[in-house]
Amino acid sequence: MHSPSLWRALQDRRYVRSSWPWRSALYLLTSVPLGILTLATMLLLAVAGSVLTVVLIGVPLLLILVLSGIPLAALERRRLRLLDSAPVPGPHREPHGTGLSVWLRTRLQERATWRELGYALLFACLLWPLEALALGTVLTVCAGLITTPAMMFAGGDEEARVLKLWIADSYPEAFAALLAGVLLLPVLAYPLGVLAAGRALLTRQLLSIPETALDSRIQELGRSRMRLVEAFEAERRRIERDLHDGAQQRLVALSMTLGLARLENPADPLGGLLTKAQEEAGAALVEIRELIRGIHPQVLTDRGLEAAVEDVADRSAVPVDVSLELPGRMLEAIETAVYFAVCEALANVAKHSRATQATVTGRAAKGTLTVQVEDNGIGGAETAEGTGLQGVADRISVLGGRLLVSSPPGGPTVFRLQVPCSPARSRE
C-alpha cells in the first residue's frame, strides 16, 4: 500500500499551488532533527551499555536500546499523517497481565519489536542523511539564486558569486539569478514530493502489519466466533423465555391450585399430601427462577448492565460497592459477557478470597468498556485452564476484549476486563 493522498496530488496540475509541497518539505525537514536525536541516543545507549555490562548496569541500557524502536515507530506513524490520511495501526498486542516484567516479556517475544528496531537503525544511519542531502540541495540552490541581489548589495561590490559556480558582475545578472531561483523552486517541488511519497511508502511498509492469507483466515475465524456467540446468546434467551413464560407459569398455577384444594376441605385426609405437594411446587418454582436468572437474568434484558450488576452485588455473600459510569445500553453480547464475568469474579470472591469487602467499578471511554472487580482478600487467584476465570477470558476474547488478573499472595485481587464497546441498536 502506498501513500494515496500525495501520489494523487502529484498528478494534479494544481500541485504546486496546494499545501502538498509544504507538507512534503515539512515531512522531510522534521526527519533531520529526529534522525540526529535517534542516532545520538542509540550510540549513547550502545556505548554506555557495552562499557557498563561488566558491572551489570549496562544490561538495562542495552535492553532500552533494543526497545528504542517502539517509541520511534509510534512517532513515525503519527508523522506519516502529514502525507497519508490512512492511519497505520500499531502491531503490538496487549500483555496478558499487569506489571513491567509481563510487558517486557511480551514485547521481546514480538517480531514487531525487532522490526521496529531495524527501522530505527535504518533511519538513524541512512534515511535522514539522504533526506537532509536532498532537502539541503534544493534549499541551497534556490536560496543561493534568490539571494544573489541581496548579497551583491550587502557586499557593496558590483559582483557576487552565485552558488560558488559563477560570478554575477551586474545587477541585471543578479536579478536574472533571482528569477531563475523563483522559477526553479516550483520545479524542484516535484522531486521533493516524489522523495517524500517514497519515504512515506517505505515507512508504511516497514511499520505496518503485512496482511497475509493467514491473517484473513484469522479475521474470518474471529467473525465466525462472534456469529456463534450471538447465536448462542439468542438460544439462551429463547430457553429463558420458554422457562419464564411456560414452565414457571405452570408451576405457579399448580401451586395455586394445590392451595385452593387445601382450602376447600381442610379436614380431608389428603390435606397433608396436598400441603407437601404445594411445598414441593414452591421449591421447584424457586429453583426454576434461579435457573432462569443463571441462563439470562430478566433485569439485564429490561434495565441493562448497571442494574444487573447491582442486583448480583446485592445477592453476594460479601458486601460489594458498585460504581458504574455507563453511557447507556450497549450491544447485548457485550452486556451479557460482562455481566457473567462479574458474576464469576464475585463468586470467586465469596468462595476463595476470604475477603470482607469488594468493589465493582467501570466506565466506558474512547470506545472501550473497562470493568474492575477488586477485593481485600488473600490473593492467589489463578486463570489456568479449566478454571472459571479462563472461561471468562475466552468469552471476552471473542468480543475482542481481554482479561487481566493481578492476585499476588496476600492480596488484593484485581480482576479487570476491557471490551471494545459501541452503542446498542434499537431494541424491540
CATH number at residue 349: 3.30.565.10
Which of 207, 242, 269 is the last residue before a domain boundary?
207
Higher-scoring residue by pLDDT: 256, 313: 313
pLDDT in tens, 387-425: 667 777 777 877 778 888 888 888 788 888 888 886 655
Q: What is d(CA 323, CA 140) in angstroms, rounded to the nearest whole number?
A: 63
pLDDT computed for residue 2 by the predictor: 44
Which triple of cell numbers denotes residue 219?
Answer: 479475521
Residue 249 domain boundaries = 213-295
**Is residue 425, in this structure, part of any structural domain at all?**
no
Q: Clarify whether residues 51 and 167 are in a common domain.
A: yes
Q: Clarify whether residues 30 and 143 are in a common domain.
A: yes
pLDDT computed for residue 268 by the predictor: 61
* Beta-ladder partners of 356: none
Number of domains in the chain: 3
**Is residue 367, in this structure, part of any structural domain at all?**
yes
Q: Which residue in the block uniquely carries the three cell numbers 548496569?
A: 57
* Alpha carbon 12 to its chain's center: 36
Q: How confident is the model at residue 175 (pLDDT cuts 50, 70, 90)?
A: confident
Nearest of 128, 116, 133 to residue 31 by alpha carbon? 128
pLDDT in tens, 140-153: 888 777 777 776 76
Q: How confident is the model at residue 213 (pLDDT cuts 50, 70, 90)?
A: very low
Q: How confident is the model at residue 119 (pLDDT cuts 50, 70, 90)?
A: very high
**Is residue 428, in this structure, part of any structural domain at all?**
no
Which of 159, 182, 207 is the last residue before a domain boundary?
207
Quote the pTM value.
0.53
Q: Clarify whether residues 235 and 124 are in a common domain.
A: no
Q: Clarify whether residues 114 and 82 are in a common domain.
A: yes
Higher-scoring residue by pLDDT: 89, 159: 89
Q: What is d(CA 133, CA 297) in angstroms, rounded to the nearest whole number?
A: 68
Q: Give the chain's radius of gyration (CA, Å).
A: 35
